[in-house]
A = this chain, B = another copy of it.
Amino acid sequence: MRIGYLLGPELRDVLQNGDPEELQELLDEIHPEDLADLVDQLPDELAARLLKKLPTEDAADIFERLEDETQEALVEEMGAESVAQIAAEMAPDDRFELLETLPEQASEAVLQSLEKVDPEAAEEVAQIDKWPDKSAGRLMTTGYVSVPLQCTVGEALQALREALEAETIYYVYAVTAAHRLHSVASLRDLLRADPALPLAEVATENVISVPPTMDQEDVARRMAKYDLTAMPVVDERGAFLGIITVDDVIDVLTEEQSEDVQKLGGVEPIEAPYFATSFFTFIRKRAFWLMVLFVGEFFTGTALRSYDKVLEAVTALSFYVPLLVSTGGNSGGQSSSLIIRGMAVGEIKMSDWWRVLVREVSQGAVLGLILAIVGVVRVLLWNDGASLAMVIGITLIGIVIMGCSVGSMLPFLLKRAGFDPATSSAPFIASLVDVLGILIYFNFAKILLKDVIEKAVQGH
């Protein structure tokens, strides 16, 4: 019977009975990612029993791929010490991630056990922890293969063959006696070269690297640009600290994408899957921005209130308020999303603000004009009269230009002030554009409908 053909329930039996030989066969045949999916579905008690039966190395392969909740439950079920033994076998970056996702108490218990079980592994955690959140330093691993400068191609190949712990063996890094990164050779180049050649003949000194403080999104962009599957991390004094592998970069891109979408939707980033996120987490993450936006919108009330005479004189003005306000918001939203994205991928720099403003104002003028034509026709069809049609037309042009300017400039201001433009632009733009839209609208109305308003006020 080939294990690969076992159906779900039978596979579960094997996992539950945990016959060592059958288990070993499973591990050889099934990708640890799929095994982890299965273990995620087992009752915690069975999962704990299974992991304890496995060789620690194999257990680590599965454990690091389990869902956060399962990991948390297993610390409870197996005890911090067993988990620490498994954690000691993980790659440094995966180990760090485990400790970071576990709830504080569990994380501390595991770390304390780890200090006894494997002080070196605990030290590696501390080393990673000292780098800023979302930096290259947090992503890197020391699981690379380095050789002395002077060795031959054959020796380098031998080092790669013997590196059982390495996360990637597709590059070998030549380092100086002081562990400075000197040059790099790909396994591809090594395999094709004469083993007797000195490594220096094959390796390139033009090493592309990143500093440990670089933001993870910039690291991802740099790796994508140069099509690397591993990126060395080198500090400002030239010390070779570690490498970042491409699988971690893909995770970063996916995570950042989720964050962007959520931030633009006005939700604080939520890391867990939708159904795994608790009710109150959602409330907390959503209530904040909803409240900020809500309070910001109070100013629209203040603005409208100051035009109460105008509103009473021409009630029809109030019918267009949501239309005009939302059009300003939409054009502002377009501009800000273009600029925020352009900044994120490095196409737009801080010094470009002036060029951006010129482009956005002129785009706003053209877009506003297009909408104004349609808007004027609509007002006339509603029989609200030519003067009101003119007010709406001019207001639309003004509002779209204003929306494009505010939407494009606020990301620059926020970035200059040290905020993340993606997080904080939306609420500011919404409130500012809405209030400014009302001011533009009623001031044009006051000027263009002067006669009508005066007549109405006198009539009272």
Q: What is the interface of chain A, defined by CB distance below 8 A to chain B?
A: 4, 28-31, 33, 157, 160-161, 169-170, 187-188, 191-192, 204-206, 208, 220-221, 223-227, 229, 246-247, 249-251, 253-254, 256-258, 260-262, 264-267, 270, 273-275, 279, 282-283, 286-287, 289-291, 293-295, 297-298, 300-301, 304-305, 308, 311-312, 315, 318-323, 325-327, 329-331, 333-334, 336-342, 344-345, 347-348, 352, 355-356, 359, 362-363, 366-367, 370-371, 374-375, 378, 382, 400, 430, 434, 438
Contacts and interface: CB of A to CB of B under 8 A. Distances in A.
A70 to B, nearest CB: 16
Contact of A274 (B251, B260, B270, B338): B338
Nearest to A250: B224
Contacts of A347: 273-275
Q: How many copies does the complex hold?
A: 2
Nearest to A326: B297
B33 A261 contact: no
B226 A31 contact: yes
Nearest to A261: B341
B331 A290 contact: yes
Contacts of A362: 279
Given A326-B293, A374-B291, A378-B298, A304 B319 contact: yes
A29 B327 contact: no
Chain A interface main SS type: helix
Contacts of A251: 224
B229 A246 contact: yes
A347 B170 CA distance: 33
Contact of A321 (B267, B298, B322, B345): B322
B275 A337 contact: no
Nearest to A170: B170
B287 A367 contact: yes
A323 B308 contact: no
A4 B298 contact: no
Contact of A188 (B169, B275, B371, B374): B169
A225 B286 contact: no
B294 A327 contact: yes
A331 B348 CA distance: 31
